[in-house]
């Protein structure tokens, strides 16, 4: 999907205090940024930030970081969050940089919501955020027992992800093929989730916890 550029985007990125200017400055010492040692929850591909903003507001004792590689998307997330939360920051960076941004055992939970399924070509499987190589990186960065919460509308991606988690020996729970009729409480919808569910599409969800 083509991202429409915003004239105010670059100024927002420069002046908004919620946007971190140096993604690598806090590796191993994120507590210094937040001024506490609360758990860190990371959303990979936070988009316009609705999910992580609302989640941060409901959980003031958790530190949140939204990672998004599209500059003209994350500027919207930062603008919407400004003045409403003090436990959330945004990083304009790529998932491939995670090991340069975070030290080992720094993250307690990772959210992956409606990522690109990369299903058109078989060779693209390695680009999926739930591909085994990515799962291995997440495990390095997470506390023992850390969690990944994953949501998608794509059946093939969900089935692929289930297999990848199992192959890498993650413990699965809360698996549902129809989230909105599952009885699971406390679900916060993303922008995409609202759009997809409004036209009757099923939402798939799982929770995975890392083993030693």
Tokens 């093929």, residue located: 177
Phi, psi of 157 (to 5 degrees): -65, -40
Options 94, 97, 100, 116, the catalytic residue: 116
d(CA 111, CA 96): 16
Nearest Cα to Cα of residue 207 among 92, 179, 97: 179
Neighbour count for residue 101 (Cβ, 10 Å): 23
Strand partners, 90: 19, 66
Is 136 noted as a catalytic residue in this protein? Answer: no
Active site residues: 116
């Amino acid at each position: 999907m083509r991202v429409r550029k915003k004239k105010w985007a670059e100024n927002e990125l420069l002046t908004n205090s919620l946007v971190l200017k140096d993604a690598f400055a806090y590796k191993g010492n994120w507590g210094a940024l937040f001024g506490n040692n609360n758990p860190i929850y990371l959303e990979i591909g936070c988009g316009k930030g609705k999910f992580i903003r609302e989640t941060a507001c409901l959980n003031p004792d958790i530190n949140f970081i939204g990672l998004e590689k599209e500059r003209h998307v994350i500027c919207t997330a930062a603008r919407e969050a400004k003045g409403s939360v003090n436990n959330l920051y945004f990083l304009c960076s790529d998932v491939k940089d995670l090991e340069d941004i975070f030290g080992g055992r720094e993250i307690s939970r990772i959210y992956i919501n409606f990522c690109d399924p990369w299903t058109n070509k078989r060779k693209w499987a390695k680009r999926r955020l739930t591909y085994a190589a990515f799962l291995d990186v997440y495990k390095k960065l997470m506390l023992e027992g850390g969690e990944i919460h994953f949501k998608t509308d794509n059946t093939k991606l969900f089935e692929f992800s289930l297999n990848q988690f199992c192959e890498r020996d993650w413990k699965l729970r809360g698996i549902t093929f129809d989230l909105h009729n599952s009885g699971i409480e406390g679900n916060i919808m993303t922008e995409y989730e609202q759009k997809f569910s409004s036209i009757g599409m099923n939402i798939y969800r799982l929770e995975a916890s890392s083993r030693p």
